Every structure is written in C-alpha cells, then in structure tokens.
Structure 1
Amino acid sequence: MIFRSKMDRGFKILMTIVLTILTLSMILPVFSPQTDYLTAFFLAALFIVTTGLILWTVLHIKYVMYDDYLYVQGGPFRSRIKYSDIIGIKKTNHIAMGFRIVSSSDAVEISYKSGFWGHVIISPEDRDLFIEELEKRRSKLN
C-alpha cells in the first residue's frame, strides 16, 4: 500500500520562497557583465543540481507499506522500518525537530528501536487511514 505525502499551503509558499531566493542568488550574477564564462557555467550548474535535489526531495515523498516493513522515501533520503521494531505511533503537529520527511504539519511520529534517530516524522495524505493500516500490520507480527 502506497501513501503520498500531504502538502500544506504554507509548505508550498516556503518552497516557492526558497526556490526564488536560490534562483535570484545564482542566476542573476550570470547576467552580470563582470562574470566570466567559467563562473557563469559553475553558477548555472550549481543552480541546476541544487534545484533538482530540492525538487526531487520535496516532490517525491512516499510511504510504502510492505509485508514486513514500512519504506519511507523523500528523494534520496530513505528508511526501512520493520513493523516489529515500531515502539509507538502518534499524531503530531511538531515537525521542527528530528528526522522528518514531511510536507505538512499534519504529521505522524513513528518511534522505533533501530536506526540512527530512533524516530521519523512523516505526513501521509490520509493520516488516520495510514495509522490504522500501520497498527494493523504491526499487530499481525505481535
């Protein structure tokens, strides 16, 4: 079962601001008469790579429930969480701290035994259905 990430209006505004600042700071100097070709090429390449990475991370967020584990992916950032390792699941609106792959403040915090952070904060489109399905899969293993 695949869940996509919910995207808040505030998150869309924030990403628009970030990408606008990035564009202005890296592209405007390219059109300056004092900029040489090498610098212009470097700035344009850096802009493409940075913007691509941001868009990949933001637009490719998904949460996939497999038979034995939950797969969380946001661009290049990935995590596999075994259902048997899950300690707790709770709704949260506090998304500022910790390992998070979210684009909404309507989030779910999953605490688990393994992994570097010990928890992940995610924002599935249908938070209640996601929690219900995760609890079902978790209880099958216990």
Structure 2
Amino acid sequence: MVQVYKSKIDTWLVVVLAAAIILCTVPFLLSLISGNSDELLPTLPAFVIGAGIPLWLMTTTCYTLTDSALLVKSGPFKWQIPIQEINGITPTRNPLSSPALSLDRLRIDYGRGQSIMISPKQKSEFLQHLAARRAQMS
C-alpha cells in the first residue's frame, strides 16, 4: 500500500518564502504594467526563479512510502531510499538544508553513511508505517 505524507511547514518559513515571492513578484508586475520591455526582461528571470521555486518547494515536498522504498520529493529534487537499507531514524532539529519545510525533522540514516532529513506532518503515523514495512522485510 502506498502512503503519501506532506511535509510539515513552519510558520517562520512560510513568512520567509512569502516575502521572497512578494519581493520578486512586485518588480515584475510593475515592469509589466509600465509596458517597458527594458524593465521587463531583467525582472522576468527573478520572478520565475524567486517566486516559482519557493512555490514549487512548498507545494510538492512530500514523502511516499511504498512496500519497498521511501520516496522523497521536493521541487525538482527526488530521492529513492530502499527501506531495507535504512539503518536508523532519529529526531533532529538540525537546520542544514534538506527536503524538509520544518525544523521538526527525522534524520533517516541509510546505505553506507548516507542520511537525509525529512519532516512529515503526521510524524508518528509515518514512523509506525515505516516500522511496519521494515518489520515485514526482516
């Protein structure tokens, strides 16, 4: 059975990303309204990148449990972690970059010294389902 878990999103991160979106959208809209193509050209990439990527990350960051793997997706980034390779799971508040929109995270250790930090919104349910899949494989 496939189960999808959305990322928990911290309020402070929503504020930061919303500010970035606004700061990139306003100049683009003003140049669009003015009709001046000399102003529109430099603001278009800033708008697409500065507004598009934060929206993409906020709307697509999720974690999918299949029978054999944990699939992590965040914007253009994807990871596939075989459940049988998971060595350990520990809670963390590590602020390093990861496919997690909250500091309420789980560090998943897998393979040979690899790890990834995720922040499922329904953390206890996610852990129960992951533990059940790991038990089935052993």
Name the TM tier (shorter chain): 0.7 to 0.9
- In the TM superposition, residue 21 of structure 1 has moved relative to its aligned partner by 3.2
1:103 corresponds to which of 101, 104, 129? 101
CA distance in 1, matches of 2:82, 2:58: 24
Other structure's SS at 2:130 match: helix
Amino acid at match of 1:59: T
Alignment deviations for residues 66-116 of structure 1 (CA, whole Å, 9 cap, x no partner) = 11101000111100000111111111122x225x111112111101116xx
Aligned residue in 2 for 1:52: 52
2:129 corresponds to which of 103, 111, 133? 133
How many corresponding residue pairs?
136
Q: List alignment gaps of at least 5 residues for structure 1.
A: none
**Percent of aligned pairs with the same residue?**
24
CA distance in 1, matches of 2:89, 2:49: 35
Aligned residue in 2 for 1:10: 12
CA distance in 2, matches of 1:7, 1:45: 26
Structure 1 vs Structure 2 CA RMSD: 2.6
Other structure's SS at 2:103 match: coil
- In the TM superposition, residue 136 of structure 1 has moved relative to its aligned partner by 1.4
Matches within 5 A, 1:23-42: 23=25, 26-27=27-28, 30=31, 37-42=37-42
TM-score, L = length of structure 1: 0.81
CA distance in 2, matches of 1:74, 1:97: 15
Alignment deviations for residues 25-75 of structure 1 (CA, whole Å, 9 cap, x no partner) = x538837x9xx6245224224412442122112221111111110100011
CA distance in 1, matches of 2:54, 2:13: 13
Give the conservation status (yes or no) of the 8 Å contact 2:25–2:47: yes
Aligned residue in 2 for 1:63: 63
Other structure's SS at 1:125 match: coil
Amino acid at match of 1:93: R
Give the conservation status (yes or no) of the 8 Å contact 2:20–2:50: no
